[in-house]
A and B are shown apart, each in its own frame.
Chain A
């Protein structure tokens, strides 16, 4: 399976990654190689095998419904590139 330039652009849109025209051929070639590697999986007989999402058979722990966090927005927002009146700013969101 070849991941052509067009498919790469579609994936890059989905993943919100800017891939320059200079990069895209190289990305296409390398991803095609990676897909070639993982395509080995297709030949494996796996009928009746349950998919394994976690390495150990654990189950989810639950936490008590208690408020434990304080208002620390100033500290947390010190890493933010642009904040105004306590809000994170981004280009206009259109619904």
Chain B
């Protein structure tokens, strides 16, 4: 059962060839069997899942099911879930029970989806390897000595290992696409504002976007349909109609022009990945696509611009974690004065990477440095965004590698933040410009998956998903299963 895609399971449920309870039990069994080694879940909500599954079966029987009714999936632990621990991968929120559901959680529950649990992640989504989690590193199902990518590493590993049919994630600088690439699955980051951020614990508000980790583009389309749309509780959510993405993916191929940025193939790109990407582009030519070389002149500045903007917003967003109303409180916090109270709670509640980013953000916003860093980064952000806008005047989508290297070894980059940050060199641009982008499996290097990234213009998800779907019709990279997880 677990080898089926979400779309296939949805059809099976509605044909009543399987019940949601059977499916849910099956995935819960797999989690029990495999997750001790993977560590992809922080919390498994078995009881709640079974109750939701029973309700879904009733709903299916009553004939009032949606495509997601009865589908077992998992939420990244950054989404607030009522009555369930929502840790954001941090000791700071190890004891935090959310009193409310995030909009994404609420909408998927309303569609009848079953929540199996909450997945592991880099602490406060700050990381590209899932190594900064308070709950320990997540292992890549393709090679347990490697990272699954991050920050949505738990979601990626769980979907890749078929412990759930799909999972939610969030993407601030590549946190859905990069782990999807490293874990051999499909990861979609929609247009900024397409999905509500309400109830999604903020990392960098102007960059954060909820996304999907699925086996296929078609599955992503089904999930996005239920998640997307205006939310009055999020001022930045877009007031734009939600297309029937899943109806659109299978429509007849129309000719598209694919832009290929020369500078995505400069030094720093792994040879094996370059080979896989060129092969994938060849596949698109066979489909009838036109390839066009383009340049994104300022894209090399996206990592430095991001490491000003994201930490600046994060340093402020994370100020609310002070141990007064919720969250970690140090044992000795009340023994000192107010300042040491804050410092002890926050000093012990946050991990090293989170503290580094808060300090970086504090620095770039502080008096005397604001103009040189924060304001300059925002100007560079516009240059990068304008580059994309110019490119989309000529091409329909932009294609290239999702990551410069395949999954790396656990511990390999933890001592060198810059090396770690450069994992996101190809993905950050879409966040700075607010563009939709996805990563699909397109090959392997030494048994580790490679991701092809497709980036589109604002709200071009229908086209993006369709282009990805047609690739997946003609290839089977997305169907490969990590050995040992059959």
Contact status B238-A52, CB under 8 Å:
no
- A interface footprint on B403-446 (CB within 8 Å = 1, 0 otherwise): 00000000000001110010000000001111100000000000
Contact of A38 among B340, B342, B356, B364 (CB under 8 A): B364
Q: Smallest CB-CB separation from B416: which chain A residue?
A: A33
Which residue of A has the minimal Cβ distance to B386?
A49
- Total cross-chain contacts (CB, 8 A): 175
Is the Cβ of B206 less than 8 Å from the Cβ of A53? Answer: yes
B6-14, B288-296, B377-385: which one contacts chain A? B377-385
Docked Cα-Cα span, A33 to B301, in Å, equals 16
In contact, A72 and B308 (Cβ under 8 angstroms): no
Q: Give the total of B residues in contact with A, Cβ under 8 Å.
A: 76
Task: Report if A58-B99 is in contact (Cβ < 8 Å); known contacts: A17-B355, A51-B379, A80-B326.
Answer: no
A62 to B382 Cα, complex, angstroms = 27
Contact of B417 with A80 in the complex, beta carbons under 8 Å: no
Q: Is the CB of B236 within 8 A of A11?
A: no
Which chain B residues lie closer than 8 Å to A88 at the CB level? 324-325
B255 at the interface (CB under 8 A from A): no
Give every chain A residue within 8 A of B301 (Cβ-Cβ). Answer: 40-41, 44
* B372 part of interface (Cβ distance < 8 Å): yes
Cβ of A86 within 8 Å of any chain B Cβ, yes or no, is no
Smallest beta-carbon distance A46→chain B, Å: 4
Which residues of chain A from 38 to 89 have any CB-CB distance to chain B below 8 Å in the complex? Answer: 38-42, 44, 46, 49-56, 58, 60-61, 63, 72, 75-82, 88
Cα distance A58–B193 in the bound complex, in angstroms: 10
Cross-chain contact A79 with B96 (CB below 8 angstroms): yes
The reply to whether the CB of B338 lies closer than 8 angstroms to some CB of chain A is: yes
**Contact (Cβ within 8 A) B235 A60:** yes
Could you say which residues of chain B place their CB within 8 Å of the CB of A72? 99
Q: How far is the CA of A94 from the CA of B339 in the complex (A)?
A: 11
Residue in contact with A90 in the complex, picked from B96, B192, B338, B421, CB distance below 8 Å: B338
Task: Judge if B348 is at the interface, Cβ distance under 8 Å.
Answer: yes
* CA A19 to CA B350, docked complex, whole Å: 11
Query: Closest B-chain residue to A50, C-beta based?
Result: B382
- Do B346 and A16 touch across chains, with their CB atoms under 8 A apart? yes
Residues of chain B in range 162-213 having any CB-CB distance to chain A below 8 Å: 191-193, 206-207
The reply to whether B363 and A11 form a contact with Cβ atoms under 8 Å apart is: yes
Instruction: Chain B residues near A61: list those with CB within 8 A.
Output: 232, 235, 239
* Selected contact of B303 from candidates A16, A37, A51, A92, CB within 8 Å: A37
Contacts of B431 in A (CB 8 A): 55
B113-121, B139-147, B329-337, B460-468: which one contacts chain A?
Answer: B329-337
Whether B366 is near chain A, meaning CB under 8 Å from some CB there, is: yes
How far is B356's CA from A33's CA once the two chains are assembled, in angstroms?
A: 11
Using A30-B417, A40-B304, A42-B376 as known contacts, say yes or no to A80 and B363 having CB atoms under 8 A apart: no
In the complex, chain B residues whose CB is within 8 Å of the CB of A80: 324-326
Q: Give the residue of B304, B358, B377 whose beta carbon is less than 8 angstroms from that of A17.
A: B358
Is A91 in contact with B379, judged by CB distance below 8 angstroms? no
Q: How many angstroms between the C-alpha atoms of A51 and B383 in the bound complex?
A: 9
B235 contacts which chain A residues (CB < 8 A)? 60-61
Pick from A46, A55, A63, A81: contact of B380, CB below 8 A: A46
Given the complex of chains A and B, what is the CA–CA distance between A88 and B319 in angstroms?
Answer: 17
Docked CA distance A8–B391 (Å):
41
| Interchain CA distance A77-B99 in the complex, whole Å | 10
Chain B residue numbers with a CB within 8 Å of A35 are 360, 363
Known contacts A38-B308, A41-B376; is-contact A11 B417 (Cβ 8 Å): no
Q: B324's contact among A13, A55, A90, A94, by CB below 8 Å, is which? A: A90
Residues of B bordering A, CB below 8 Å: 95-97, 99, 191-193, 206-207, 232, 235-236, 238-239, 298, 301, 303-305, 307-308, 315, 319, 322-327, 329, 334, 336-344, 346-348, 350, 352, 355-356, 358-360, 362-364, 366, 372-373, 375-383, 385, 416-418, 421, 431-435, 458
Write 18 A-B pairs (CB below 8 A) sorted by A numbering.
A16-B322, A20-B347, A31-B356, A31-B360, A34-B360, A34-B418, A41-B304, A41-B376, A44-B298, A51-B381, A53-B206, A55-B193, A55-B431, A55-B433, A55-B434, A58-B236, A81-B329, A82-B334
Task: Spell out A's residues near B (CB within 8 Å).
Answer: 3, 8, 11-20, 23, 27, 30-31, 33-42, 44, 46, 49-56, 58, 60-61, 63, 72, 75-82, 88, 90-94
